[in-house]
Structure 1
Amino acid sequence: MSNKRSTINRRIALVTGGNRGIGREITRQLASKGYYVLIGCRDAEKGEKAVAEMNKDGLIVGLQVVDVNDKETVKQTIEQIKKEYGRLDVLVNNAGIILDRAVPVLKVGESVIKETFETNFFGALRMIQEVVPLMQQWKYGRIVNISSGLGAFEIMSGQGPIQIGGSSAAYRISKTMLNALTCLVAQDISEKGIKVNAVCPGRVQTDMGGADAPSTVEEGADTAVWLATLDEEGPNGGYFRDRQPISW
């Protein structure tokens, strides 16, 4: 049976950066819930490997090669999804990078900020701008932006539970911008069936979070999956950790 035929009665989801880390676990959990998940990955070989491993475990997932840094590629990706499946029900903007962690804001290079923003903010913006019109056609959609509490004003102003000074400046500012994007998109979408939310997964045991992180990858993915599968009464335009609202 072809993937297209086997997904007719399934929700279609796209997880950018879905071949590893939290993105891979979000993919696994959504597929386990019966969603047909497209693993968004710019490296076809790595993406195919992830798909094969999940298929071997009995999960129905596919590969969608996409580079969120390339506007034309993003546009072509959504056009391809529309042609093959007719719709896209869930978008998880998970693709992200962190550079020069130890460099404080007063010394961070402009090139580092631009490179970080290109993926962490503009990548998500490109995906959302292309996906929303398709979701509006079906009057249904769930958009989940993978953010970070390190970009919250509560933390950066020194009022929150985590204090790390000005390090990882480019990454943190990019997540602040992603949070702002979440709020604005939620306000701009009038269709009640479409929900846009941001999530802080916490520090998770991935390549980015480190092996000593307090949360497992399963725990880190849980809230994002919850937001991706919200019912009609679920929240819109919020920011969450452990399924609870947190401060911007």
Structure 2
Amino acid sequence: MTKTILVTGGNQGMGLEIATELSELGQTVIIGSRSIEKGQAAVKQLAQSNLQIDFVQLDVTNRTSIDVAIQYITDEYGHLDTLINNAGIAVDDHIAPSQLSTEKMRQDFEVNFFGLVEMTQASLPLLKKAPEGRIINISSMMGSHVAALDPNSEVFGASATGYQASKSAANMFTIQLAKELEQSHVNISVNAVDPGIVATNFGGTPAQQSAARGAQSPKAGVARTIELATADHVATASFTNTNGSVPW
């Protein structure tokens, strides 16, 4: 069954890869992009591959922008099957926590947590109109408390406290919203995904440089997200990657 899917931050990187693959699978895809020019460029790029996607200007840190986007989707589609909260930033990589400014931490939280929360809350009425709504939050193992304390973890040496804390907060929102909806008998699943380290320009590191350091391809990074978006049925309150469960 064709689903209507909104991908925030869908004009580049993993978001664009998610939009591309879902469109190739025949889904109706809407990309949200803060930049109108970049959003339109993404639509044009995919059209060259005969992929038709829609675009809506969307800044998840701006409530007016969110409301306008939701109204557009309401008018054009009437419902939303899946919300993929992909928009994210990292402005504090390799900064020691004792030296990290609260300004940079707030930047991380504005997009990765508060933006995600506001976008999700605004989308709930549309998701409730779907037979089986889905919310997929692009998180990171870097937000895992267990992994951060495990010397054998691939993220043990990471130092991006603001980014990591914002992902931890988003994970808790994922859990609590999933519980609320399940207990209220609302047929919307809420799950978090760890894409791993992906070769994109995220965080200011050029994609080629990330790839040279062993980062996986965007296609590999979005595999679990595509699976959650297209599977016949999914669980709720999970945190997973392509290898299975990720510790909260």
Normalising by structure 1, what TM-score? 0.91
Residue among 179, 191, 204 paired with 2:198:
204
User: How far apart, CA to CA, are the structure 2 residues paired with 1:159 and 1:194?
Assistant: 36
How far 1:138 moved relative to its partner? 3.0
How many residue pairs align between the two structures?
239
Q: Distance in 1 between matches of 2:99 and 2:150?
A: 20
Tell me which of 116, 121, 144 is aligned to 1:124. 116
Match of 2:85 in 1: 93
State the shift of 1:193 in Å: 3.0
| 1:138 partner SS | coil
Runs of 4 or more consecutive aligned structure 1 residues displaced over 6 Å after TM superposition:
none
Partner residue in 2 for 1:6: none
**Structure 1: gaps (5+ residues):** 1-8
**Residues 29-108 of structure 1: matches in 2 within 5 Å?**
29-108=21-100
- Does the CA-based 8 Å contact 1:142-1:229 persist in structure 2? no
Q: Is the 8 A contact 1:75 1:130 kept in 2?
A: yes
**Distance across 1 between alignment mates of 2:3 and 2:187:** 14
Q: Is this contact kept in 1: 2:150–2:156, CA < 8 A?
A: no
Amino acid in structure 2 at the alignment position of 1:218:
K
Tell me how far 1:58 sits from its aligned partner: 1.1
* 8 Å CA contact 2:89, 2:112 repeated in 1: yes
Q: Structure 2 unaligned runs (5+)?
A: none
Q: Deviation digits for residues 142-182 of structure 1, max 9, x if unmatched?
A: 11100010110112223552244461111011000111111
Q: CA deviation at 1:24?
A: 0.6
Alpha-carbon distance change, 155 to 243 in structure 1, aligned in 2, over 3 angstroms = closer
Distance (Å, rounded) in 2 between the aligned partners of 1:98 and 1:112: 9
Question: 2:164 aligns to what SS in structure 1?
Answer: helix
1:214 aligns to what?
215
Query: 1:133 is aligned with what amino acid?
Result: P
CA contact (8 A) 1:41 1:63 kept: yes
Q: Within 2, Cα distance between the matches of 1:245 and 1:167?
A: 23
Cα distance, 1:10 vs. partner?
3.4
Residue aligned with 1:13, SS: strand
1:55-110: CA deviation from partner (whole Å, max 9, x where unpaired): 11011201111000001211221121011111111111001001121111121101
Q: Aligned runs of 1:19-38 on 2, under 5 Å?
A: 19-38=11-30
CA contact (8 A) 1:17 1:23 kept: yes
TM-score for the superposition, normalised by structure 2:
0.91
- Going from structure 1 to structure 2, the CA distance change for 1:160 and 1:230 (only over 3 Å counts) comes to farther
**Who is 1:5 aligned against?**
none
Provide the secondary structure at the position in 2 that maps to 1:108: coil
CA gap 1:39/1:10 in 2 versus in 1, 3 angstroms = same
Percent of pairs with identical residues: 34
Aligned-partner Cα distance in 2 for 1:115–1:56: 35
**Quick check: 1:203–1:215 contact (8 Å CA) kept in 2?**
yes
**Local SS of the residue matching 1:186:** helix
Equivalent-residue separation in structure 1 for 2:84 and 2:129 (angstroms): 19
Distance across 2 between alignment mates of 1:243 and 1:71: 36
